[in-house]
Amino acid sequence: MQKVLICTNHFYPETFRCNDVAFELVRLGYDVTVLTAIPDYPGGKFFEGYGFFKKRRETVRGVKVIRAFIIPRGQGGVIRLLLNYLSYFLSSLLVSIRLGLFGKFDRVLIHETSPVMIGVPAVIVKKLQKIPLYFWVLDLWPESLQAAGGVNNPWVLGFFRRMTTWIYRHSDKILMSSKGFESSIMEKGDFANKLIYFPNWADKALEGHGEYRLPAMPDGFIAMFAGNMGEAQDFDHIMSAARLLKEEKNIHFVFVGDGRKRPWVEEYCEKHGLQATVHWVGRHPVEAMPSFFEKADVMLMTLKDVSIFNLTAPAKLQAYMSASKPILAMMNGEGPRIVTEAQCGKCVPAADAEGLAKVLKEMSRMDKAELVEMGRRGKIYQQSHFDLDQSIRHLMEIME
């Protein structure tokens, strides 16, 4: 039985693709251990039942989970986020040394969201046990630090560039979640023989029809956003579009999720009197998403006008496609390219609030059959390009 260690700072009950990887590998006969953090994303506080002295070790659906210490990220602020990153980095380092010396693994996989430092413990285990390391890149560093974090200090950026290159160098294979990542990775070294395209897929929990009891939903044409409500998602321009459509009483914006930008959204609604057409329904489990998606007429996919964001498509793209829903994208690069290729929605440039409002108004007046056909084409594309079973088979081939 192959023993796999997955290093990631986010795992169940948080909703990330590494959950699928771990659970599917166990189902297929692998022995899987996950080194992760105490769950606090996206709300900024520990999930109920978890804490400094609660559930630091547990088994979830056959996956052995070890949770390193973290300071919760809170509701925003650079200092608190840095403390969150640093606390996990230091505590996971200590755990990785113990695992490397006293554990026994055949493979180690990095599920790399942010920050890139989460890859260092995996390298330690690789070196101590002399086993293959697979680096699954979902975020580019230090580009993300500069683009999303606003960090421009050359010393800091240089430090993280060297760290990222060091992890790439020690990886046996580098799995790219987007083809657009190749140029950034290759700028840091000649890693062409290591690169493998390994995109996201739609969560299995999103399949089928929803039976979740929903909060009250508005009547009319619903443009729904589901996921993290953060800075990167460009709620400034989403809300500007909502303000432009204020008098279109039939068009409603429904936000399913939570995040650091949510208090700002609520204040903006209050200031501009948008309570009748903008609705925040809170964060709900992934199992509830089919029920929400069924109520939507179109799904919103947005990212800020930042060069690094052009290189990737948000994970919600596959979820929206799987739900057979048309997509309205306000972003540049890889996401709109896929939507256009799949013919499953409409696209406007990043930060184009007027364009978003205009196209949303047009879609609200389209024939329902045309919207349904867009969603159908997205589902077909998802099944052929972003399927979980195909991806897991591919990962097993890579690791063999």
> What is the domain partition of the chain in residue ranges?
3-198, 205-385
The tokens for 395 are 């990962």
How much is the pLDDT for 11? Answer: 97
How much is the pLDDT for 205? Answer: 64
How far is CA 226 from each of CA 257, 281, 300, rounded to the nearest angstrom? Answer: 6, 10, 8
How far is CA 265 from each of CA 149, 242, 256, 259, 399, rounded to the nearest angstrom? Answer: 20, 11, 13, 10, 44
Task: Note the CATH number of domain 205-385.
Answer: 3.40.50.2000
The tokens for 326 are 């048309």
How much is the pLDDT for 76? Answer: 63
Cβ distance 139 to 113 under 8 Å?
A: yes
How much is the pLDDT for 35? Answer: 98
| Residue carrying structure tokens 């084409």 | 377
Report the chain (400 residues): mean pLDDT per 10 consecutive residues.
96 92 97 97 89 94 97 82 92 97 97 93 98 96 80 89 97 94 94 95 69 88 95 95 97 95 96 97 89 96 90 88 96 94 98 98 97 98 92 95
Q: Distance between CA 63 and CA 26 in Å, rounded? A: 7
Q: Distance between CA 220 and CA 108 in Å, rounded? A: 49
Phi–psi pair at 93, nearest 5 degrees: -60, -45
Closest among 202, 245, 192, 186 to 220, alpha carbons compared: 245
Q: Distance between CA 385 and CA 391 in Å, rounded? A: 9
pTM: predicted TM-score of the whole model, two decimal places: 0.81
How far is CA 52 from each of CA 48, 68, 69, 83, rounded to the nearest angstrom? Answer: 12, 9, 7, 15
Topology at the third CATH level for domain 3-198: Rossmann fold (3.40.50)
How much is the pLDDT for 210? Answer: 60
The reply to whether 205-385 shares the fold of 3-198 is yes
The tokens for 376 are 């159908």
Cβ burial of 211 (10 Å; 0-12, 13-18, 19+) is: exposed
N- to C-terminal Cα distance for the chain? 12
Q: Distance between CA 331 and CA 321 in Å, rounded? A: 17
